[in-house]
Structure 1
Amino acid sequence: MDLGLTGRTAVVCASTQGLGRACAVELARAGCTVVVNGRTESSTAQAAEEIAASTGAAVVAVAADLNTRAGQDALLAAAGPADILVNNNAGPPFRDFREVDEEALLAGVKANMATPIRLVQRVVDGMVERRFGRIVNITSGSVKMPLAGLDLSSGARAGLTGFLAGVARSVAHANVTINFLLPGSFDTRRLRAGQSAAAEAQGLSMDEAADRARAGIPAGRFGDPAEFGAACAFLCSDRAGFITGQSLLIDGGAYPGVL
């Protein structure tokens, strides 16, 4: 399917690895110029080179901490007029809610709610003027099905969803959409790190911990990041202009509800 994205500029936050990188790859394959972002110069440059080599797309590397104004400035200056923004940020680590002190609370809300909102504020008016814009926010399946130990992540991401829900309706008339992707268990470095911690805590091998996790997924497997990237690319396409304000859960059926 031609997604109608040739020549568009896509900014993908936290895209040197994992689900962010998968989104950057699929947008590059769809014909976008992609701005990739990471915390370090070396990892960001390497990711940009690898994505460009595998897709033939123009890829720009911006190493920056997006939780700072200077980092946001650098990212958006490198992009120029952005047609697509994919908000992504690492979530707070597993932690009992009793251990979340004020510093950790504010940092989690800043990274997973305030920073994405600020980036939307800075790009959305240009999208409205050009009559095209796609904003995709990567949140978490825990927004719909909270998990103990991820309370800060769930709360901040749910806050982002609620904040942008009304914004999405206010710009839909200009062919600007705002949607949310809620990943379940995908085969990423973050997932493996979590399984390693669980295995150690429960006295299990890594294989045993992985088997237990897979047993709770009706699909019987972890997600492939490429599947997630493809869903992101579709939501960014010109075919998806009538989809806005929606939260797409991609979890292999793990969430048992119907809404």
Structure 2
Amino acid sequence: MIDRWDQEDDARRIRSRPRTIGEYFAAEQPLLVPLPEEPFETGRLSTPRVDRYSQICVRMNRYSVPVRLIGRTVRVMLHASELVVYDGREEVARHERLIARGAARLELDHYLEALVRKPGALPGATALDQARAAGRFTPIHDAWWQAAVKAHGEREGTRALIEVLLLSRHLPREHLITGLAAALKSGALTADAVALEARKAADAEPEEPAQPVAPGSPPGIAPLPAAIRARLPPDNRPLPSVAHYDQLLRLRRSDRPIP
């Protein structure tokens, strides 16, 4: 909408000036300084401390972070629609921003290391309820969990499910769900079996066709897409040359220094 207003304003004249706004800008544009390469950060920075529940409080709302950060101070960049948490330079959590006050947004993955030691806390966990509501904990997860509890008991069956959830850090979500369904169908109720079935699903996917290599490109290096090449500045550097080394060819063997 602002771009449209800007274009419509190009034809306007300011009082009695001889040129339009668009004509003045066309003369000024070549003299403008290039935009900075680094984006301007518009978020609000804060440094809360992680409490014993592995949560931080930002603007009267609570957000989870990995349990390994309990007791530490983290950096939080609050944007209009999301919140990003950093431990030093490493991004450790990203949440959709809560608008109302007094709410909590908890990520089940942040608590898995603690839950694997105390699996009995999983059934009543708020993070599990939020994962179900968001569709990240699917009915297939629940069905596999119930079967594992029936086969191994409440504690060991729940621990097996938590080990499966830990696999999501290394396996794509769709492959993991396929592996859960296949393992449930075959009665394989261990995390190792789910990982094996998930890798089978990944191997069964057709590979993407390789991009054609432009003539003259070094082997093993794919060319940049045309859209990216169009945004690059022109390369006016001279081609590399080894002509300076030709002077070595004029030296006779007797003229070479003795090492």
Identify the TM-score tier after normalising by the shorter chain: under 0.3
* TM value normalised by structure 1: 0.25
Structure 1 or 2, whichever has the larger Rg, is: 2
* TM value normalised by structure 2: 0.25
Which structure dedicates a bigger proportion of its chain to helix?
1
**Greater RCO, 1 or 2 (C-alpha within 8 Å, sep 6+):** 1
